[in-house]
Structure 1
C-alpha cells in the first residue's frame, strides 16, 4: 500500500522471499521436485511456505518489473468468513512452516515471540486453536521437516542476512489503501485537513496508516510517500502549510518534500516536536482542488527505538492547511432555523416549543413538520402558532407518515436561515443552547457539525440506572466517551441536538432507503465525514430528553435498530467491519440465551423499576441480543 514509482531505474528482476500464488510462474518439474504447495494448508501462507522451501533448497524467487497483473480486490474471504477465521488460518500455517524450515534455536525463538504476542493480546481461543491444529498435524509436519532439512542449501543466518525475514513476530501493518478520485466531487470547501481526525478520511489517498495520539494531538503516520487533497475557493492562491513530526534519532539528514498542483519545496528535517513546512505560490484549480503529495525518507521505528514497530514510516502529520493570499474574515452565524419533526408527541412538543421561546435569540425560525400524526398534533401546532408567533417565526407543515428522515428533508425546504439546528420533538433545550451552538461554530471557523449534550429531562421524570447506562455508555448516546471541543466519529451524529450550516446539507440529505427508525442520522454523518465535515461535541449546548423508557421498551427499540442496520449496510457495505459499527456476528453464546431473553428482560425490567442494581454487563448483553435478533429478522 506504499506508493511505488515504476520507472527505468527500478531493477528488472529483484529477489523476494516468496512468490504470490495468485500470479506466479515456475517450471513444472521444479514445482513437483520440491513438493508443490503444502496440502495441509487450505489457504493463506501456502505461498510463503513454498517460497521458504525454494530458497532453502537452492532455488531463487524473483519479482519481475515488467510482468504486471492487477488485483481486482473484493475481500471475499474477509466478508464471507470474517477476519478471525482468516487470522486463524494464517497463524496455524505459519506455526507449521516455522517447524518445517527453521533450525532448532530459531524455532524456539519464533515460538516464544508468537506465544508472548498472543498471550499479551489475551487471544486464548486463537492460541488454543493454533496449538490443537498443529498437534494433530505434527506427524506430517515432522516428515516434511526431515525431507527439507536433509536437502537444505541455505542456513538461517544466510537467510537473515539477505533481509528476507524480519525479527518481528508478525508482519508489519501496511498503510490503508484509498482512492481519492471517487471522493473529490463530494468534498466541502474547507482549507484545513487534520489527517488524524475522522473528517479527513475522504480526502486521504494512498500511503497513510491508522491514526494515533501524540500528546494531545490525534495524528496520522505515513509511509514516506502519501497523497491527500484540499478543496478551497476555485483559483485561489496562497501557501500550503504542513505540520510534521519525525523523531530526531530517525532523521539522518533527510528532507521533507511537499508537492501541490505543480509546485514543490524540499526542507531539511530539524527534529522539532512539530516542524511546520510552508510551500508558497500554490494555486487551486478551476474546481478549487489542491492535490498534495508528501514525501520524507522512510525508516523502521524498531531499528531506532527497539520498540517492535516494523512499519515503514516517514513521519506523522498533524495538520495540512491552505493559507490564502486574501483570507476571508470568519463568519458568525446570525440566523438560526430549528428543525423539529414530530409524530404523536403533542405534550412533549409543546414543552420543546415553550423552551425555545426562552432562548432569547434575535433571529430565530422554528420549523415543525408533522409526520402524519393523525391525532390532534396538527391542530395544536396551528393553535400554538397563533398564540406565540411573536417570540420566533414558527413555520409548520404536515405530510403523510414517511418516517423522520423524509420529514426532515421536507422541513429543510422551509428553512430560511444559514445555520440549521436539528432538535427532537421531545428534546427540551436549556436557555443557552442556541448561544452555545453558535459560539462553537464561530470558534471553529470552518464547516462543521456541532453536537450538543442531551441528558434526561430530570425535572419531570424519574431516571433509573438502566436509563443512565443507555444515555451515557453508547446504546442511545455515548457521552461518557466524548470530550467537549473534540472531534467525534460519525456514529455521534445525533439529530436530537445537532447544528450545521445549511449549505452543507443540500436538498435531500437524509436517505429515503431507511424503512424504520434508526441509523438514518448515522448514515448522513458518515457521508458528511467523507466530505470533510468535522463533528465536534459541545457540552454546554444542553437539553433534556423527555422520553421515559425502561428495559422492555428499549429492548423492543433495539429490535428495530437491528432491522435498520441492514439498510445501512445495504447502502454502505464498506461499514460491515468498521470499528465504529457493532461486530458483524454476535457472540456465539447469544444463541443459547435467546430463548430465555423474554424472561431475562422482564426480570431486569422489574429490578430496574425498583432502582435495584442490575449488572451493566447483563443489560448490555440483553440489548445486543435484541439488536442481533432485529438483524436476523431481515433476510440477507
Structure 2
C-alpha cells in the first residue's frame, strides 16, 4: 500500500512546519505500507512557505511541492490528486498535526474493512481534535465539541484515488469558504462508498486562541459559507442538503431565538466575550460567539438564495 498525503496550504507556514515534521516521523509496518509521499500544494501563499520548503528539502524527503495561483482549497486538492502517484489518497489540512501511528491506523482500517466487506467501496475517516496549543498540539484531549457527523470531510480521510476520479473530483465552482468537500461526499455516496470510522488515526487541528480581532473575519466566513451552501443546494436540491446548510425554518427559528433576532451580536456580547478571554477561556468564548456567527450564516444562506432566485 502506497499513500499520497495531499495537503493544500495558504499562508500557514508556522503550523505547516509542524504538520510536515509530524508526517515525516511516521512509524508503520512495511509489510502493510510500502512507502508514502506528501504532496503539498501551495495555493499562492505570500509568506515564506515556498522558500522554506526549498531550504528544507533534505529534512523533508517525502515532500513533493506543487504550486498554483490562489484558486482555493478544492482546486489545490485536485492538483495534488492529479500529481499523486499513490493508489490511496489521504487528505489533511496544513494546520493538522498527526501522531506517529497516523498512516498505520488508516492502512489497517482500510485493509480490515476491505476484507470484511469484500469491497473497496470505502474510505476511512480519522479523528480531528481541535486545539489552540501551538507548542504541544497533540496534548489536547478529545472534547464533545470535536465530534463530527460529516460523511466526507477533508480534514482527515483516506480513499482510493480511482473513486475520486470517478466521482469527478472537487468542484472548483466552490471558490469561497465551505462545502466543497461535503459536496464531493454526496457524489461519493451515490457511487456507494461506505464511511469507516478510524478513531486511532488522530489529527490535531490547530487554530490560534480566539480573540475579538478575529470576529470580522469569522463573520465574513459565515456569510461566504452561506453563499456556497446555496450553490451546494442548487447542485443537490434535497432536504438532506438543506439541513446541512441550515436552510430550513427550524434553523432560522433556532438561531433567531438564541440570538434574540440578532440582538445578541458581536457588539452586545463583546464585554462577555472579552471577560471570558481574560479568564483564560478563549474556547468557551468562541463557542458562545457561535450563537451570532450561526445567525449570520443562516441570514447569509437566505440572502444568497433570494439573490439566486432574482438573477
TM-score w.r.t. structure 1 length?
A: 0.41
CA distances 1:567-603 after superposition (whole Å, capped 9, x unpaired): 2112112246655452423115478532551224423
Name the counterpart of 1:355: 22
Structure 1 SS opposite 2:208: coil
1:544 aligns with 2:204: yes
Which residue in the other structure is 2:266 paired with? 598
Distance in 1, matches of 2:7 and 2:194, equals 23
Aligned to 2:31: none
Residue by residue, what CA displacement relative to the aligned partner does 1:516-547 show, whole Å, maximum 9, x if unpaired? Answer: 01110110111111110112221110111121
Q: Give 1:441 shift.
A: 0.5
Closer, same or farther in 2 for the Cα pair 1:459/1:515, shift >3 Å? closer
Change in 2 beyond 3 A, CA 1:603/1:529: farther
1:500 equivalent in alignment to 2:174 = no
- Asked if residue 628 in structure 1 is aligned to residue 298 in structure 2, the reply is yes
CA distance in 1, matches of 2:260, 2:109: 48
Rounded Cα–Cα distance in structure 2 between residues aligned with 1:591 and 1:358: 45
- C-alpha distance in structure 1 between counterparts of 2:287 and 2:134, whole Å: 28
Q: Deviations over 1:108-138 (max 9, x none)?
A: xxxxxxxxxxxxxxxxxxxxxxxxxxxxxxx
**Which one of the candidate residues 94, 100, 106 is aligned to 1:425?**
94
The residue that corresponds to 1:158 in the other structure is: none
1:205-236: CA deviations, max 9, x gaps?
A: xxxxxxxxxxxxxxxxxxxxxxxxxxxxxxxx
In 1, Cα distance between equivalents of 2:227 and 2:269: 19
Report the Cα offset of residue 337 of structure 1.
0.6
Give the match for residue 407 of structure 1: 76
State TM-score, norm by structure 2: 0.80
1:33-44 equivalences in 2 (<5 Å): none
1:375 is matched with: 47
2:192 matched to 1:532? yes
CA distance in 2, matches of 1:549, 1:511: 32
Number of equivalenced pairs: 283
1:575 touches 1:581 (CA, 8 Å); kept in 2?
Answer: no
CA shift, 1:398, in A, is: 0.5
- Please, which runs of 5 or more residues in structure 1 have no aligned partner? 1-333, 480-487
Partner of 2:178: 518
- 1:633–1:372 distance in 2 versus 1, CA, 3 Å: farther
More relative contact order, 1 or 2 (CA 8 Å, 6+ apart): 2
1:557, distance to aligned residue in structure 2 (A): 3.2
Stretches of structure 2 that go unaligned for 5 or more consecutive residues are 29-33
**CA, structure 1 residues 535+415, in 2 after alignment: closer, same or farther (shift >3 Å)?**
same
> Separation in 2 of the partners of 1:365 and 1:531?
27
Determine whether 1:335 maps to 2:2. yes
Aligned residues of 2:229 and 2:245 also touching (Cα < 8 A): no
Distance 1:494 1:472, change over 3 A: farther
> In structure 2, do the counterparts of structure 1 residues 501 and 598 end up closer, same or farther at CA, with 3 Å as the change threshold?
same
1:39-438 equivalences in 2 (<5 Å): 334-361=1-28, 362-389=34-61, 392=62, 394-438=63-107
Among 456, 460, 478, which residue is 2:130 paired with? 456
Q: Which structure has greater helix proportion?
A: 2
From 224, 228, 235, give the equivalent of 1:560: 224
Residue 367 of structure 1, CA deviation: 0.4
Q: Structure 2 CA distance, aligned partners of 1:372 and 1:596?
A: 37
Report the structure number with the largest CA radius of gyration: 1
Residue 376 of structure 1 deviates from its aligned partner by 1.9
